[in-house]
Amino acid sequence: MYELTHYINGAHVKGTSGRFTDVFNPATGEIQAKTPLASKAELDAAVAIAAAAQPAWAAVNPQRRARVLMKFVDLLNRDLDKLAEALSREHGKTFPDAKGDVIRGLEVVEYCIGAPQMLKGEYTDSASAGIDIYSMRQALGVSAGITPFNFPAMIPMWMFAPAIACGNAFILKPSERDPSVPLMLAELFEEAGLPKGILQVVNGDKESVDAILDNETIQSIGFVGSTPIAEYIYGRGCANGKRVQCFGGAKNHMIIMPDADMDQVADALIGAGYGAAGERCMAISIAVPVGDETADRLIAKLTPRVESLKIGPYTAGDDVDFGPVVTAAAKERVLGLVDSGVAAGADLVVDGRDFKLQGYEDGFFVGACLFDNVTADMEIYKQEIFGPVLAVVRAQSYEAAIGLAMDNEYGNGTAIFTRDGDTARNFANRINVGMVGVNVPIPVPLAYHTFGGWKKSAFGDLNQHGPDAFRFYTRTKTVTARWPSGTKEGADFSIPTME
């Protein structure tokens, strides 16, 4: 067992609060590390260091800041396997999936190398007689991010890369369940040339989260997690005058039209529903085939694929489709929801509740489960499961199918599989969901577009990464300047106009 640290002012620092939490190996159920939980005083001290370091970093021109990001990308590629192994060890996801976690974060860093272009302002010559108007984007100061366990590399980079590219300092409060990779990322960024104090990692729980929300120096906060906590952070952060973006839960539907290629659909659902043991906010957890014949064909294709899924520890490499869930509590919650689906009358076509892996009996493994004939009033439908469970809800028409997604309280992601362009276009235009896939099961936009849901999946006006990130982490200042060629006598009491 090892003891983790915070990363403050360029060094690993032991916690002083005396409070710790356990970090498990999800495959074995064993405690492998202790994470310190910061006090308010520890958090505030880190913020003070960030505030002292930030002005000098903001004064560095954007091109030179971008060069630090370029070097950071090189180091991420150099240590990709090392980062992925540490991620898998604490999270439980397969090694290839862990590498994808790092790479999707790396891609946002690559996009942020374009900061000099993204930070350009606007200029109007001779807006009025002898008057020029121009704008500039300036850093906020100190920003903070509160990130979840399921993407311990990707989501921190989605937050701190644009914030730092814009000239801010950043305080990262990662999930206490798998904090090693965020600590490694901070080390790598400083190896790339980032000044000490600009990126700091403070591990903690609610006490440190509340300290972030209440600290007067922190100007903006990003959060990804459950909807109840997103609402709490958004409300308290905004009440304290901060700029806040929060991304919450999801219940992502995939509509399957009768004309869809059913083999393509089944393969898409297997990856989107069971990848990472379903612990993705963009996982497809609800499949909605239109018509009973479509549903019967779908179940026939899905059942053998689900039954043949390979489950095991990340050390098994490419021979494993997905691994354990992150904690024993997560496992119990998933199994409880599966039980509730059976009790409510849904058909459990593939039952993974009794899955055991020889040699890993104490691990947090849940076998793949497939439900048919789920209805919208069941808890298995209403709640975000965050486990390897796919529910099939039969719809008798396209309008009924699209209505399920539109009436759901969440609006993170959705997809439709069809060969009909008119149907696909209608779906994309009408659906009240933030990210839409057409024959794409997990429609996560690439780094140069923005990521964000609607309804109770997101709180705030701006999304993650893409152009929105540069808007979120900067303030616009507009300057109106006059350089008169002569002098004008007397005061002018009228409001300025374009004349």
**Segment 306-315, tens digit of pLDDT:** 999 999 999 9
Residue 172 clears pLDDT 90, i.e. is over it: yes
Nearest-angstrom CA–CA distance, 59 and 198: 13
Residue 317's pLDDT is 82
How many residues belong to the chain? 499
Residue 14's pLDDT is 97
Beta strand 142-146 with 474-482 is unpaired
Nearest-angstrom CA–CA distance, 201 and 199: 7
The architecture (CATH level 2) of 252-438 comes to 3-Layer(aba) Sandwich (3.40)
> Measuring CA to CA, which residue among 190, 176, 182 is closest to residue 152?
182
On whether the CB atoms of residues 8 and 31 are closer than 8 A, the answer is: no
Give the pLDDT band (50/70/90) at residue 15: very high
E-strand ranges in 123-242 read 123-128, 131-139, 142-146, 169-173, 199-201, 218-224
Q: How far is CA 432 from the centre of its chain?
A: 20
- Please tell me whether residue 244 adopts helix, strand or coil conformation: strand
Structural domain boundaries in the chain: 2-248+457-479, 252-438
Give the pLDDT band (50/70/90) at residue 486: low
Residue 355's pLDDT is 96
Q: What is the mean pLDDT of the chain?
A: 96
Give the pLDDT band (50/70/90) at residue 493: confident
* Tens of pLDDT, residues 331-347: 999 999 999 999 999 99
* Active-site annotation holds for 281: yes
Residue 1 clears pLDDT 90, i.e. is over it: no
Nearest-angstrom CA–CA distance, 481 and 313: 64
Residue 130's pLDDT is 84
On whether the CB atoms of residues 192 and 72 are closer than 8 A, the answer is: yes
Residue 492 clears pLDDT 90, i.e. is over it: no
On whether the CB atoms of residues 42 and 202 are closer than 8 A, the answer is: yes
Residue 312's pLDDT is 97
Beta strand 435-438 with 413-417 is parallel
Mean pLDDT of 203-210: 98
Q: Which residues contact 269 (CB under 8 A, 6 or more apart)?
A: 254, 284, 287, 302, 390, 441
Beta strand 458-459 with 243-247 is antiparallel
On whether the CB atoms of residues 137 and 476 are closer than 8 A, the answer is: yes
Mean pLDDT of 50-58: 98
Nearest-angstrom CA–CA distance, 288 and 372: 10
Residue 8's pLDDT is 98
Name the phi and psi angles at 222, rounded to 5.
Answer: -110, 145
Give the pLDDT band (50/70/90) at residue 207: very high
Tokens encoding 144? 């903070």
112, 246, 281, 369: which one is catalytic?
Answer: 281
Residue 289: in which H helix or E strand, if any? strand 284-289
Share of the chain above pLDDT 70, in %: 99
- Superfamily name with CATH number, domain 2-248+457-479: Aldehyde Dehydrogenase; Chain A, domain 1 (3.40.605.10)
Tokens encoding 303? 């059942």
Mean pLDDT of 403-418: 97
* Tens of pLDDT, residues 115-153: 999 999 999 998 888 899 999 999 999 999 999 999 999
Residue 488's pLDDT is 62
Residue 409 β-bridge partners: none
* Tens of pLDDT, residues 257-284: 999 999 999 999 999 999 999 999 999 9
Residue 35's pLDDT is 98
Residue 499's pLDDT is 61
Nearest-angstrom CA–CA distance, 156 and 173: 9
> Measuring CA to CA, which residue among 109, 50, 130 is closest to residue 496?
130
Residue 487's pLDDT is 60
- Please tell me whether residue 121 adopts helix, strand or coil conformation: coil
Residue 127's pLDDT is 87
Share of the chain above pLDDT 90, in %: 94
Look up the pTM and report it: 0.95
Q: Which residues contact 239 (CB under 8 A, 6 or more apart)?
A: none
